[in-house]
Structure 1
Amino acid sequence: MTKKPEDRAELFTPRNSNPAGTFYDLRATTLEGDSVDFNVFRGRVVLIENVASELNQLQSKYPHRLVVLGFPCNQFGYQENCTNGEILNSLQHVRPGGGFKPIFTIFEKCDVNGTNTHPVFAYLKDKLPYPDDDPNSLIQDPKFLVWSPISRTDISWNFEKFLIGPEGEPFKRYSKKFPTIDIEPDIQRLLRLTKT
């Protein structure tokens, strides 16, 4: 039975997860099956997003001081409806297509909301509860709320981005509407803080 819009308030629940202590306590598994300990990112600026073509541009511009991490997710309109083994092929030929080959690390498909939220996103949403550029939006159409429980800190759609400073402190969260390439001034600001 579908809940009516006026019943949606009961769907919203407070965060009850226990995220990692620091960004460097996190780990995730790449598409190739390798476990990555986020401790290896110490001293570097990190940008986390669902896969977008501008990520290559940023990674190539700052190859040693910026780490770009892509996390595919199928919770938004089932747009990532393929297996982990098919993701790279899909990126190359479908979306964004045109022979796109990522030059950044892509992790296994994961949930970013709900009961099975990946620890990386539980941590990031705990530290940055809403996008800086759009603090009020959440998914408007209840048919797209395919996870439970619903929380105000949930990621509202693909392409939300998280920028982490060189000391591992989450710096800013950006909405799906904020162009990835426009994060560059914030990246440059954080890079000035890094020890080279």
Structure 2
Amino acid sequence: MASLSDFSASSLEGEQVQLCQYAGNVVLIVNTASKCGFTPQYKGLQELYRDYSGKGFTVLGFPCNQFLAQEPADEAEISRFCASTYKVTFPMFAKIEVNGPHAHPLYNWLKTAAPGIAGTTAVKWNFTKFLIDRQGKPVVRYAPTMAPSNIAPTIERLLR
């Protein structure tokens, strides 16, 4: 079975990032958008990152424009928006697709490994979250409505 370490993605700056660099960490992967009703979750995601990054946790943000075109910006603008509006310091990646024939391989794996309600695989909206354990395996998928702060107890358990 695959693990997070088997994948790579382009950073907002265009550099290829091997996700094996997060091996041994608890990782929260989130598809993001800057013009979504859930966009304020960036604040909560940054708080999780601030509180737990020193303990072996990280957040990985993947902008996506597939849901009502709520991420129309280019990578440079996304970077500026995240830094200036929400003071994001966790790793952000280049825009990707999470569904359909051009979905990023990481998301194809996540959707299969951690299906949604009633076994559905498609990502339903921006700010769907996948929590990955220290072994690089998906533990749970969270709906976009799940506030980042409500994930903290599970992060703490996985960090022990």
TM-based fold match above 0.5: yes
How far has the Cα of 1:92 moved from its partner?
A: 5.0
- Does residue 119 of structure 2 align to residue 119 of structure 1? no
Partners of 1:174 and 1:118 in 2: CA distance: 19
Q: Which residue of 1 aligns with 2:7?
A: 26
CA RMSD of aligned residues (A): 1.7
* Aligned-partner Cα distance in 1 for 2:46–2:81: 16
- Give, in whole Å, the separation in 2 of the partners of 1:176 and 1:136: 16
Contact kept, 8 Å, 2:30 with 2:61, in 1: the verdict is yes
Q: Which runs of 5+ in 1 are unaligned?
A: 1-19, 94-98, 138-151
How far residue 42 of structure 1 moved from its aligned partner, in angstroms, is 1.3
2:135 counterpart SS class: coil
| Mapped partners of 1:92, 1:26: distance in 2 | 26
> What is residue 86 of structure 2 aligned with on the other side?
100
Return the alpha-carbon distance in structure 2 between the equivalents of residues 30 and 166 of structure 1.
22
Residues 41, 92 of structure 1: alpha-carbon distance in 2 compared, 3 angstrom cutoff: closer
* Cα distance, 1:117 vs structure 2: 0.3
Q: Distance in 1 between the 2:118 and 2:111 partners?
A: 15
State the Cα distance separating 1:185 from its structure 2 match: 0.5
Alpha-carbon offset, residue 184 of structure 1: 0.3
Q: Which structure has greater strand proportion?
A: 2
Matches within 5 A, 1:42-121: 42-51=23-32, 52-64=42-54, 65-92=56-83, 99-121=85-107
1:91/1:101 contact within 8 Å kept: yes
Matched, 1:38 2:55: no
The answer (yes or no) to whether the contact 2:30–2:130 under 8 Å persists in 1 is yes
Q: How does 1:137-156 map to 2 (within 5 A)?
A: 152-156=120-124
Whether 1:173 aligns to 2:154 is no
Give CA-to-partner distance per residue, 1:121-146, whole Å, 9 cap, x none.
Answer: 0110010111xxxx159xxxxxxxxx
In structure 2, distance between residues paired with 1:189 and 1:153: 26
Q: Which runs of 5+ in 2 are unaligned?
A: 33-41
**Contact 1:88/1:101, CA 8 A, preserved across alignment:** no
After TM superposition, the score normalised by the length of structure 1 is 0.72
Cα distance in 1 for partners of 2:61, 2:24 equals 19
Can you list the C-alpha shifts for 1:2-50, whole angstroms capped at 9, x where unaligned?
Answer: xxxxxxxxxxxxxxxxxx8322111111001121111111111000113
State how many pairs are aligned.
150
Distance 1:90 1:39 in 2: 27
Larger Rg: 1
